[in-house]
A and B are shown apart, each in its own frame.
Chain A
Amino acid sequence: MDVLANLGDGFAVAFTLQNLGLALLGCFLGTIMGALPGLGPSNGVAILIPLAFTLGLGPTPSLILLTSVYYGAMYGGRISSILLGIPGDEPAMMTVLDGHPMAKKGMAGEALSLSGIASFVGAFIATWGLILLAPQLVKIALLFGPAEYFALFALAFATLGGVSSTNQAKSAFAAMLGLGLAMIGVDTQTGVPRFTFGEVHLYDGLDFLVAIVGLFALSEVFIFLEHRHGGSDANSGQLKLGRLTPPLSMIKQCTPTMLRTSILGFIAGVLPGAGASLGSFISYSMEKRLVDKEGTFGKGDPRGVAAPEAGNNAAAGGALVPMLALGVPGSGTTAVLLAVLLSLNITPGPLLFAQNPDVVWGLIAALFIANFMLLALNIPMVGIFTRVLMVPPRILMPIVAMVSFVGIYGISGSSFDLLVMIGFGVMGWALRKLDVPLVPIILGTLLGNTMENNLRRAITIDNGDWFTLVDSPLALTLWAIAIIGFVMPLIVGRLVRSKMHERGDEEGSITD
C-alpha cells in the first residue's frame, strides 16, 4: 500500500514538537477567527501568512499552521451561528437555520457538540477523499502541456464565480482586474518593464500578499467603520450552554445524515466554482428533502445542524484536491493557501507530489492531526470559544488592522507596501459594495504570470500558431467545461441564488 507508506512518512514529518505546537496554535486561532463575525477563513489565513513568513518558518511548518487555521475556521463558524443566529463566516450560513432554534430551546450545548462531531466526520472523510483522489488527478495532470494548462487556468477563472454567482460580468471583470495587476512589473521572458510608469517600487511587481491582506482584512475594517458596528452582538445571557454532550440517540439519528452529506460536500468542494458555502447549502437542501418527513427542519432539528456542518467541512477538504494536484484553487480560502505555497517557492501541481512528497504528505498528516485536535478542543472547551464572541468589534477590528500592518511591514519593511495595502483595502471595500467578488482578483494576481508563461510557451513551441491552444482533445475538453461553467450560472444560477441568498450576507463577497 503506497498510500499508507506515504502517509506514514507524512506523520513522521508532522509529529515533531514544533509542528504539533503549530497545529494546536492554528486550530485554536482558526476556531476563534471562524467564530467571530467579520473574520472568516480567508481573511483569517490572510492575516497570518505574512506572520508565518516573518517568523522564518519553513514550508511544512507554515503550511501546517495555516491549514490548521483553515480547518479551525470551518469548525468555528458554527459557534456564532448557533448561539447568536449570525453566521461567523459564510459557510456557516445554513447552520443558523436549525442551530439557532435549537439554542433557543435551551439545547445550545447539544447543538454545539453535535455540530462539532459532524464537522469532524465531514473533515475526516474529506481528508481520506483527498488522499485517494489527489494522486489520481495528478496522473491526469501529468498529461498536461502548456496549452492544456492555459485552458485549465481559463477554466478556473470561468467557473470561479460559481453556480451561485450573481453577475458573471462582474466575476469576469474581477478576474481580469487580478490578471491585469499581475502584469505589473518586469516581464519575465523579455526583461522589459510593463505598467510600471517609471516607479521603481513596481519593477518587482505587486506582492500578492499585500493585495490579499488589503482586500480581505482591511476592507473588512472599512465595512465595520461604515456601519459603525462596534458593539458586541453577544451578551452573557445568550451564552448559556447547558449540557455539552449530545445524547447517543441524537448521534445515532444523525449518523446517516452526516455520512451522506460528507460525501456530497466533498464532491462539491472538489468541483470548480463550488466551495464550502455551496457544499453546506446543497447538503442541507438534500437532507431536508430526504429525511424531513415531519417538517421539523428549520425548527431546531438536530439533523439540520449536522448536515450543513458535515457538508461544509467536507467541502473544505475537497477544495484542497484541485489546489494541491493541479495548482488551481476552487475557492477563496484555498486561493489564499495557494498564495502561501507560492510565497514559499513551492509550485503546487502534479510535480509537487513527485518533488516535495514531504510537503504533501506532511500536510495531509497535519490535517488528520488538526482534525482530532479540533474535535478535542471543540467539545469540552467550547465554553472558552463562546467567551470570544463577547469581544466587541470596536476592539477587535483595530487589532485586525494593526496585525495586518505588522505582517506586511515585517515582510518588506517598506512604507510603500503599506500604502499599496491601504489602496487595496479601499478598493476591496468599494468592490464589495458593488458586489464584485474579490476571490477572482486574488486568483488573477496569483496565477497571472504562470498563465501568461504557459500561453507564450505553448505558442512558441508551435512556432507562433495560436490554434495550438485548441489542438488537443484534452485542451478542447477543458475549454468546453470552462464555457459551460461560465454560461450555466446564467441559466440555473438564478434559482440556486435566490434560495441561497435569502439568508445571505449581501456584502459577503468573500465567499468560500
Chain B
Amino acid sequence: MLGGPLSLRGPAVQFYLSTQIPGDTMSDRIFGLFGLALAIFFAWAALQIEESFLSDEVGPKAFPLIIATILGISSIFIALKPDAEPVWPSLGRLVEILAAIVVMILYAQFLPVAGFVIATAVAASYLTWRLGSPALSSLLIGVLTSVGIYVIFHLVLGLSLARGPLGF
C-alpha cells in the first residue's frame, strides 16, 4: 500500500491497471464527439449574438468563432486519435460521487436558510462519513470542522458567513 506514487489510487485500481486491455478507447471517442457538438453549439450561439450598430471592425462574433473552430478541430483529433481508456469508477463509486454532488448542491441551497454552522456541520459529516469515518465519529468530526471554521474565519478573522435563524 505504501510502495510508491501509485498507492494513491488504491488496490482495486491497480488491479484494473494491470488488466487493462490496450486499444480500448471508447471514452475518448465519445469525448471527442461531445467536444465537436459543443463546438458546433458554441458557433451557433456565437452567430446568435446581436450585433450592435456601434460595432468595431471585428465585432463580438469573430473571436468566439475562431475559438469554436479550434475547439472543433481539436475535438476531431481527440476522436480520431484517442488515448488509452481511463480508469472509470465502478457503478457504486459513481453513485457515491453523484450523492456527494447532490449533498453539495443542497448545501449551497440551504446555506442561507439554515445558517453556516448547521449546514456546514451536516455537509462535512456526510463527506467524512463517506470517506470512511465511522458513523458516530463522523458526526463529531463534522461539528468540529464546522465550529472550527466558524471560530477561525468568523470570530477571529471577521469574515461574514451565512447567518441562520439562530444567528450563526
Contacts and interface: CB of A to CB of B under 8 A. Distances in A.
Interface string B61-79: 0111001101101110110
Interface of A is mostly: helix
Contact of A460 (B4, B54, B57, B60): B57
Contact of A228 (B55, B93, B109): B93
A402 B120 CA distance: 7
Contact of A464 (B57, B101, B145): B57
Interface stretch (A107-115, A243-251, A403-411): A403-411
Interface in A65-116: 84-87, 93, 96
Contacts, number: 229
Contact of A180 (B1, B67, B116, B130): B67
A167 B83 contact: yes
A172 B111 contact: no
A455 B149 contact: no
A224 B100 contact: no
B10 A195 contact: no
Nearest to B17: A506
A37 B8 CA distance: 8
A300 interface: no
A201 interface: no
A327 to B, nearest CB: 19
Contacts of A225: 93, 96-97, 100, 127, 130-131
A507 B124 CA distance: 25
Given A167-B78, A429-B97, 6 more contacts: A38-B8, A225-B127, A225-B131, A401-B124, A456-B57, A456-B58
26 contacts: A51-B159, A55-B157, A173-B78, A180-B68, A192-B50, A192-B60, A193-B49, A194-B64, A195-B64, A221-B100, A225-B97, A226-B97, A227-B13, A228-B130, A398-B127, A405-B108, A410-B160, A415-B112, A422-B104, A426-B101, A434-B27, A434-B86, A456-B57, A503-B4, A505-B5, A506-B87
Query: Can you list the 7 inter-chain pairs with the closest CB atoms, starting with the nearest?
Result: A230-B132, A230-B131, A418-B108, A394-B131, A169-B77, A398-B127, A464-B57
Interface of A: 37-38, 51, 54-55, 84-87, 93, 96, 166-167, 169-170, 172-173, 176-177, 179-180, 183, 187, 189-195, 197, 218, 221-222, 224-231, 233, 238, 393-395, 397-399, 401-403, 405-406, 409-410, 413, 415, 418-419, 422, 425-426, 429, 433-435, 451-452, 455-456, 459-460, 463-464, 503-507
